[in-house]
C-alpha cells in the first residue's frame, strides 16, 4: 500500500520547484551505459550511404567502421549491434550467405575486434531474413516456415559469428526451441562465455518497415511473419516466451518493438528479474525524426522516450539515437 498525506500538509509540487530538487528526487536516469548503437554495414569501399527511410542513419562499408566505432567507444557506449545489407545476388531460398565465414557480419566483427579488442561489445543478429530471397526469418517450403530446419542453420550461423569474435549472439528469428540448441552448440564448441540475448518477445509489427529497407529485404517479403512473430494483442504469451528462453539458457531477453510495449517490458522485469533490453525500432525512430524535422515536436522527445524505457524496467535500449543522445549525457 502506498501511504500518502493529505493536502494542504502534503504538497507534491514542493519537490518540483527548483532544478536541484527535481534532480535530487529523480527516480530514473539515462546514461551512456544504457545504450546500444546499431550499425548497418554494406559491401564496397569508402561508402557511407544514407538510408532515406531513416534520416541521419547510414550504411557503412567495412573500411569506414573503425572511425565510427572509435567515436562510439569515446562516447562510452558499451555495445554495438551489427546488421548487414546483403546484395540480391547473395540471397537465396536457403540463406546460404548466412553461413559464409567471410560474410559482412563476420568480416566486420573480426576487424573491430582486431582494432579495439574488448573496449566494446559486439552483438550479432542471428536470423535469416537478411539472406533469404523471400525475406523471411526461416526456411520457407510450401508457404510454411520450417521451424527445425531453420534452427539447424541458426546453430551454424551462431557458431560462425562466435568464431569471428561476436560477444553477444542475438537470435531474432522467433523459432521455437532455438535458444536451447544454440546454447548447447556454443558450449560444445568452446564458446561457453559467449552470451545469448534472445529476442524472446518480438511482435509482428508495422514498425519494422524502415529496417527492412536498410537491410535490403523490404520488397522481397512474401506474405507476413504472423506464424512466428507474436500477435501484438497478446500479453501473457510474452511471459511464456520469456520463461521458455530463460529455461533454455538465455542470458538476456529483448522486447521488440519498444514504445508500444512498455507494459511488456515492465511485466518481464517484474516477473523474471533478468536483464531486459528494449529495441526502439526503425519505425519508432523514423516517426520521431520526421516529427522533429517538421517542427511538430522538439528534439527533447528523444531523451523522453529513451527514459521511458528505463522507467518501464529496461536495463538497456538499442536505439538509432544512441550516439546523438550520448553526447548530451
CATH superfamily assigned to domain 29-326: Aldolase class I (3.20.20.70)
Query: Hey, which residues are catalytic here?
Result: 202, 256
Rounded distance, CA 288 to CA 296, Å?
9
Grid cell 551505459 in the structure block, residue: 33
Domain ranges in the chain?
A: 29-326
State the cell numbers at 96: 546460404
Whether the Cβ atoms of residue 34 and residue 303 lie closer than 8 Å to each other:
no
For residue 217, the model assigns a pLDDT of 83
Rounded distance, CA 72 to CA 79, Å?
9
Give CA angle at 295 (292, 301), nearest 5°: 40
Establish whether the linkage from the previous residue to 8 is cis, with ω within 30° of 0: yes
Residues 6+ apart with CB under 8 A from 13: none
143: alpha, beta or left? (left if phi > 0; alpha if psi -120 to 50): left
For residue 3, the model assigns a pLDDT of 67
CA-nearest of 314, 292, 310, 294 to 302 is 292
For residue 1, the model assigns a pLDDT of 65
Q: What is the pLDDT along the chain (329 residues), one digit of tens a residue?
A: 676 788 999 999 999 999 999 999 999 999 999 999 999 999 999 999 999 999 999 999 999 999 999 999 999 999 999 999 999 999 999 999 999 999 999 999 999 999 999 999 999 999 999 999 999 999 999 999 999 999 999 999 999 999 999 999 999 999 999 999 999 999 999 999 999 999 999 999 999 999 999 998 878 988 899 999 999 999 999 999 999 999 999 999 999 999 999 999 999 999 999 999 999 999 999 999 999 999 999 999 999 999 999 999 999 999 999 999 999 99
β-strand pairing of 144-146 with 252-256: unpaired
For residue 143, the model assigns a pLDDT of 92
Amino acid at each position: 500500500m502506498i501511504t500518502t498525506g493529505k493536502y494542504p500538509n502534503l504538497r507534491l509540487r514542493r519537490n518540483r520547484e527548483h532544478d536541484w530538487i527535481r534532480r535530487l528526487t529523480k527516480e530514473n536516469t539515462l546514461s551512456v551505459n544504457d545504450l546500444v548503437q546499431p550499425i548497418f554495414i554494406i559491401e564496397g569501399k569508402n561508402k557511407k550511404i544514407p538510408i532515406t527511410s531513416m534520416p541521419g542513419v547510414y550504411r557503412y562499408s567495412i573500411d569506414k567502421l573503425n572511425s565510427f566505432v572509435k567515436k562510439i567507444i569515446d562516447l562510452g557506449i558499451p555495445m554495438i549491434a551489427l546488421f548487414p545489407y546483403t546484395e540480391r545476388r547473395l540471397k537465396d531460398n536457403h540463406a546460404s550467405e548466412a553461413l559464409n565465414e567471410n560474410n559482412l557480419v563476420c568480416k566486420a566483427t573480426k576487424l573491430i575486434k582486431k582494432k579495439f579488442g574488448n573496449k566494446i561489445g559486439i552483438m550479432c543478429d542471428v536470423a535469416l531474413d537478411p539472406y533469404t530471397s523471400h525475406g523471411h526469418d526461416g526456411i520457407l517450403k510450401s508457404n510454411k516456415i520450417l521451424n527445425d530446419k531453420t534452427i539447424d542453420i541458426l546453430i551454424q550461423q551462431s557458431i560462425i559469428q562466435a568464431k569471428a569474435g561476436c560477444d553477444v549472439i542475438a537470435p531474432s528469428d522467433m523459432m521455437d526451441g532455438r535458444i536451447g540448441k544454440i546454447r548447447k552448440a556454443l558450449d560444445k564448441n568452446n564458446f561457453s562465455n559467449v552470451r545469448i540475448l534472445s529476442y524472446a518477445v518480438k511482435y509482428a509489427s508495422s514498425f519494422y518497415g524502415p529496417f527492412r529497407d536498410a537491410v535490403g529485404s523490404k520488397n522481397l517479403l512474401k506474405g507476413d511473419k504472423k506464424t512466428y512473430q507474436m500477435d501484438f494483442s497478446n500479453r501473457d504469451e510474452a511471459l511464456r516466451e520469456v520463461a521458455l528462453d530463460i529455461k533454455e539458457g538465455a542470458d538476456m531477453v529483448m522486447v521488440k518493438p519498444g514504445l508500444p510495449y512498455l507494459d511488456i517490458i515492465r511485466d518481464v522485469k517484474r516477473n523474471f528479474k533478468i536483464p531486459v533490453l528494449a529495441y526502439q525500432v526503425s519505425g519508432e525512430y523514423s516517426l520521431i525524426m520526421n516529427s522533429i524535422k517538421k517542427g511538430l515536436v522538439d528534439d527533447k522527445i528523444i531523451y523522453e522516450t529513451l527514459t521511458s524505457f528505463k522507467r518501464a524496467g529496461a536495463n538497456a535500449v538499442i536505439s538509432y539515437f544512441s550516439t546523438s543522445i550520448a553526447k548530451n549525457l
